[in-house]
């Protein structure tokens, strides 16, 4: 049959090749996630199939229902390749070719765009041709629809050439171009359908990304609202972590030479850094925002006890002096001498009480020496009688434990609760069905407080079990923690002092020495601006 009818055989081969090309285009469209790349791919493949000299892509924008617009998003021109066309918007009306197609859903196949019937509402905007010295002859305009059949964009092809090698000029466009055939219109309509679905998928992906970005920002805001001392911490840590990972990519040799972060991994690290304290939502606010070793109500309770003890001492002294005054066995001189002794003893006891109160106030805001801690322990053994005549310690065991804390404001039990936020973060985030691009995010957060020597928490992992993203996050988190200066009773360190802390932790095999060295040499901290300097 092929030998008897070679034209039929040749046509069948061409159609088969076209179908293969369309399938390849479909695969390419489904694999493109960047909108700009996707639109340019749609345009270039459409031009390739139809031998079009130029073309453009518009997207429908209905964000403002009162005035929908057409967004000029992509343009290509083989005869004017160096002409740069910026994006712009035009009103969505039937006056333009693209607007008419977007509103009506009809295709336009125009043999001569400069000579249109007078009864049609649309006209070619010749300003483009005039601006770049071009001449538009044949035009094919088709809608790109979503799965609901709505036009979400317009594909516009210009000047179907008789030969793909031709460069068009105003003087040769009449002889070098030809109208688009019905067959080409059908093929491009099929391609436009594929393109519409790909654009819709891309827009849906972008919407999901924006939704997740909003979730992340809202989560960070919720965390920082509960803990005012950490305002801005998550954002700063994310900037430091991403910059350090980018610097790792620039290393060509050594232990870091084989490490490379893709754009996807950089995004994953950024989100992990923003959410690394997510589990703090489960930490009681009394611990999370504990500004001093004692809660305000605890300090008030101790103050009331001291006031009661003082009044008791004064009452007992007054009672003793009254008994002395009415004693018939003592002379006037003896009563006077004893009264002075009672006054001196009361003054000494009140002075000691005041000294003890000052020690409590000092301990509440500062670390204490060993001798001061012993004084607190002796004080805790002092008892008094309350208003119900029950014998009570002037300091409870919990209060004593809090005041004896040597660093920070948290007791060992409270610190354990605070440190549990890492596990809580992992448990919360592990429930989210992450995409492939973000599947390691929970594990990065789970391990960012681990240390290379196994001294970290919550699992005591060592070097080989800690992902490099988590090691980067650990350095960023540590640097910001010691330089922010936000928390009470913690002085803000200078950049050089903070770098010394990082080096010391690296020398102690807690932080990754190669990453710390890179952090310092490449001045990663400068990403924070003046504060990082």
72-99 pLDDT, tens digit each: 988 999 999 887 778 889 999 999 999 9
Residue 311 domain-assigned?
yes
For residue 328, the model assigns a pLDDT of 76
For residue 14, the model assigns a pLDDT of 54
Q: Which residues of the chain have pLDDT under 70?
A: 1-33, 228-229, 485-491, 530-533
* Count of the separate structural domains present in the chain: 3
254 and 332 share a domain? no
For residue 8, the model assigns a pLDDT of 43
For residue 473, the model assigns a pLDDT of 97
For residue 234, the model assigns a pLDDT of 92
243 and 305 share a domain? no
Residue 212 domain-assigned?
no
For residue 459, the model assigns a pLDDT of 94
For residue 173, the model assigns a pLDDT of 94
- Where does a domain end: 152, 175, 205? 205
User: What region, left, alpha or beta, does residue 283 occupy, with left being phi > 0 and alpha being psi -120 to 50 degrees?
Assistant: beta
For residue 367, the model assigns a pLDDT of 81
Which residues 6+ apart lie within 8 Å of 81 measured at CB?
none
pTM of the model: 0.70
**Model pLDDT for residues 15-34, shown as the tens digit of each residue:** 555 555 655 555 555 555 67
Residue 20 domain-assigned?
yes
Cα 223 from Cα 354, distance rounded (Å): 40
432 and 509 share a domain? yes
Task: Give the DSSP letter of residue 113.
Answer: T
For residue 18, the model assigns a pLDDT of 55
For residue 37, the model assigns a pLDDT of 80
For residue 117, with 0-12 CB atoms within 10 Å meaning exposed, 13-18 middle and 19 or more buried, which class applies?
A: exposed
- Report which secondary-structure segment, H or E, holds 413: helix 412-430
Residue 140 · residue 180 · CB < 8 Å: yes
For residue 20, the model assigns a pLDDT of 58
Q: What is the CATH number of the domain that holds 252?
A: 1.10.3210.10
For residue 5, the model assigns a pLDDT of 47
82 and 176 share a domain? yes
Residue 301 · residue 393 · CB < 8 Å: no
For residue 388, the model assigns a pLDDT of 85
174 and 310 share a domain? no
Residue 220 domain-assigned?
no
402 and 433 share a domain? no
For residue 337, the model assigns a pLDDT of 86
423 and 525 share a domain? yes
For residue 439, with 0-12 CB atoms within 10 Å meaning exposed, 13-18 middle and 19 or more buried, which class applies?
A: exposed
For residue 32, the model assigns a pLDDT of 55
79 and 149 share a domain? yes
Smallest CA-to-CA distance from 357 within 401, 311, 391, 307 is with 307
279 and 335 share a domain? no
Two tokens, residue 332: 């006037």
Residue 4 domain-assigned?
no
Q: What is the CATH number of the domain that holds 172?
A: 3.30.450.40
Q: For 114, list phi and psi in degrees, rounded to 5.
A: -80, -15
Domain with 376, as residue range(s), is 296-408
Residue 448 · residue 473 · CB < 8 Å: yes
Residue 215 domain-assigned?
no
- Where does a domain end: 388, 408, 428? 408
Residue 277 · residue 421 · CB < 8 Å: yes
Diameter of the chain by CA atoms?
A: 151
For residue 266, the model assigns a pLDDT of 96
461 and 384 share a domain? no
Residue 213 domain-assigned?
no
Task: Give the DSSP letter of residue 466.
Answer: S
- Determine how many CB atoms are found less than 10 A away from the CB of residue 158: 29
136 and 247 share a domain? no
- Where does a domain end: 173, 205, 237? 205
400 and 438 share a domain? no
Long-range contacts of 408-417 (CB under 8 A, 24+ apart): 408/489, 408/490, 409/290, 409/291, 409/292, 409/293, 409/488, 409/489, 410/287, 410/290, 414/287, 414/290, 417/283, 417/284, 417/287
Residue 51 domain-assigned?
yes
């Amino acid at each position: 049959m092929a030998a008897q009818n070679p034209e039929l055989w040749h046509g069948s081969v061409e159609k088969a090749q076209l179908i293969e090309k369309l399938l390849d285009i479909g695969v390419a469209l489904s694999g493109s996630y960047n909108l700009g790349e996707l639109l340019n791919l749609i345009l270039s493949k459409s031009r390739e199939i139809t031998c079009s000299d130029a073309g453009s892509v518009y997207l429908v924008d209905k964000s403002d229902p009162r005035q929908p617009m057409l967004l000029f998003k992509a343009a290509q021109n083989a005869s004017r390749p160096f002409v740069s066309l910026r994006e712009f918007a035009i009103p969505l009306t039937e006056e333009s070719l693209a607007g008419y197609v977007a509103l009506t859903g009809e295709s336009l196949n125009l043999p001569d765009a400069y000579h249109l019937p007078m009864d049609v509402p649309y006209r070619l905007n010749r300003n483009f041709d005039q601006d770049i010295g071009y001449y538009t002859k044949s035009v094919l305009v088709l809608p790109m629809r979503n799965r609901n059949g709505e036009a979400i964009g317009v594909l516009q092809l210009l000047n179907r050439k008789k030969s793909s090698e031709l460069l068009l000029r105003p003087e040769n466009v009449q002889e070098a171009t030809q109208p688009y055939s019905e067959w080409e219109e059908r093929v491009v309509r099929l391609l436009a359908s594929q393109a519409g679905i790909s654009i819709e998928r891309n827009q849906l992906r972008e919407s999901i990304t924006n939704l997740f970005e909003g979730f992340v920002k809202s989560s960070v805001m919720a965390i920082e609202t509960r803990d005012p001392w950490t305002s801005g911490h998550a954002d700063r840590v994310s900037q430091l972590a991403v910059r350090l990972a980018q610097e790792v990519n620039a290393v060509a040799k050594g232990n870091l030479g084989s490490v490379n972060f893709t754009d996807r991994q950089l995004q994953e690290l950024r989100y992990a850094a923003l959410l690394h304290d997510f589990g703090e939502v489960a930490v009681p606010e009394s611990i999370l925002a504990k500004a001093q070793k004692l809660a305000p109500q605890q300090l008030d309770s101790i103050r009331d006890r001291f006031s009661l003890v003082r009044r008791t001492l004064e009452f007992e002294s007054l009672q003793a002096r009254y008994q002395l005054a009415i004693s018939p066995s003592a002379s006037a001189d003896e009563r006077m001498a004893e009264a002075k002794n009672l006054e001196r003893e009361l003054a000494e006891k009140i002075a000691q009480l005041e000294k003890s109160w000052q020690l409590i106030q000092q301990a509440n805001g500062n670390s204490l020496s060993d001798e001061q801690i012993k004084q607190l322990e002796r004080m805790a053994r002092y008892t008094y009688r309350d208003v119900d005549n029950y014998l009570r310690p002037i300091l409870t065991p919990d209060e004593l434990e809090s005041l004896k804390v040597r660093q920070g404001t948290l007791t060992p039990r409270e610190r354990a609760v605070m440190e549990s936020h890492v596990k809580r973060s992992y448990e919360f985030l592990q429930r989210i069905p992450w995409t492939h691009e973000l599947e390691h995010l929970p594990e990065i957060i789970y391990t960012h407080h681990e240390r290379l020597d196994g001294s970290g928490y919550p699992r005591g992992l060592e070097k080989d079990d800690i992902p490099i993203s988590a090691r980067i996050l650990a350095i960023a988190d540590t640097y910001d923690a010691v330089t922010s200066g936000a928390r009470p009773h913690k002085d803000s360190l200078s950049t050089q002092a903070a770098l010394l802390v990082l080096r010391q932790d690296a020398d102690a095999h807690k932080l990754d020495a190669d990453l710390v060295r890179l952090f310092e040499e490449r001045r990663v901290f400068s990403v924070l601006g003046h504060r990082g300097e």
